[in-house]
Amino acid sequence: MSEPKRIAVTGAAGQICYSMLFRIANGDIYGPDQPVSLQLLEITPALGLLEAVKMELDDCAFPLLHDVVCTDDPKVALTDVDAALFVGAKPRGPGMERKDLISDNGKIFSSLGQILNEVGSPECKVVVVGNPANTNAYILKANAPNINPRNITALTRLDHNRAISQLAAKTDAKVSDITKMVIWGNHSTTQVPDITWATVDGKAATDLVDTAWAHDTFIPTVAKRGAAVIDARGSSSAASAANGVVDHMASWVQGTPDGDWVSMAVPSDGSYGIEEGLIYSFPVTCKDGDYTIIDDLTVTDAMKEKMLASQAELHEERDTVKDLLS
């Protein structure tokens, strides 16, 4: 067997990680022949809970799980990792404005970015999950110039999966029949779920559903699904978010199937007029551990307007944290 892949996970005693770590240890990111080591980071008060998570990981006796480190020292967690999954962040508290959350969480990502810059491997693959995910990834990128900027990404795969599920339900199809879904933009309610190129069992989705449904029902349902889950369960999506992270990383590492793509928030290369460097969700294909933005789709005027509105929100978020962009 090969050397273990080292994976750092922050916020490792939280809700998302309680679903995610067991999947990673089972080989769901790097595949069934690749051992993994977990380097788990928490804030000091949560270390007891993190030890309990480690006890359960031990008790699963996963054949691929080589080693588990639990720490409150980001340097220990981020040293020499092949992948870093930044899940830990503060949730929005009562009376807190979105911009307060951005500033508070932004500080976590500037500090972790600087430490990753110091101790991380330059080709380490990063996905930011903690919200606001795109802007936190942007802050991390600005603070970690030694890390390949292409490798700093944010999670919109949960939104992508939600969109597939909604289209499958509407067309009475199986989720496995759906290809070429797109999520453009920010992981927020300004995101743009787009079925323009989607197929359902080989047929164009746009021939199966009407435009009014696609614009007035599908887009808001997907974009507000996170809030609907909070209403239903009293806390934010955890198992489905964990699944989204595993899917995001597995596609990146193992590749996407021929004839399909996935959505990932990655540094823009200027495609579709989106400012270069902004962390923005695009359709991408993955191969040999790298991704390529699909840059030649013809977007409708209506979608372009929404895509630019999502970019404008990212610009506003960036203005709020400009002090953190060293």
Residue 187 interacts with ligand NAX (CB under 6 A): yes or no: yes
Distances (CA, A) of 79 to 7, 24, 74: 10, 19, 8
Q: Residue 88 CB, nearest distance to ligand NAX (Å)?
A: 3
User: In this structure, are residues 142 and 324 in contact, taking their beta carbons and an 8 Å threshold?
Assistant: yes
Among 7, 8, 9, 16, binds ligand NAX (CB under 6 A): 16
At residue 96's C-alpha, the angle toward residues 91 and 100, to 5°, is 85
* Dist CA 326 CA 139 (whole Å): 9
- Stated as kind and residue range, the H or E segment containing 317 is helix 301-320
Q: What are phi and psi of 264, to 5 degrees?
A: -140, 140
User: In this structure, are residues 25 and 44 in contact, taking their beta carbons and an 8 Å threshold?
Assistant: no
> 277 to 306, contacts with ligand NAX by CB under 6 A?
none
From the list 306, 140, 277, the residue with the least C-alpha distance to 215 is: 306
Listed ranges 125-133, 192-200, 280-288, 318-326: which one lies at the site for ligand NAX (CB under 6 A): 125-133
Among 15, 148, 206, 221, binds ligand NAX (CB under 6 A): 15
Q: Residues 187, 215, 248, 315: which is the catalytic one?
A: 187
Among 5, 25, 28, 88, binds ligand NAX (CB under 6 A): 88
> 101 to 120, contacts with ligand NAX by CB under 6 A?
108
Which tokens go with 319? 């203005």
Does the active-site annotation cover 187?
yes
Which tokens go with 52? 């309990």
What is the pattern of x (binds ligand NAX, CB under 6 A) and - over residues 260-279?
--------------------
* Dist CA 326 CA 322 (whole Å): 8
Cβ-based nearer residue to ligand NAX, 46 or 64: 46
Cβ-based nearer residue to ligand NAX, 70 or 108: 108
Listed ranges 52-60, 197-205, 230-238, 306-314: which one lies at the site for ligand NAX (CB under 6 A): 230-238
Residues that bind ligand NAX (CB under 6 A): 10-11, 13-16, 41-43, 46, 87-91, 108, 129-131, 133, 155, 158, 187, 226, 236-238, 241, 244
Catalytic residue positions? 187
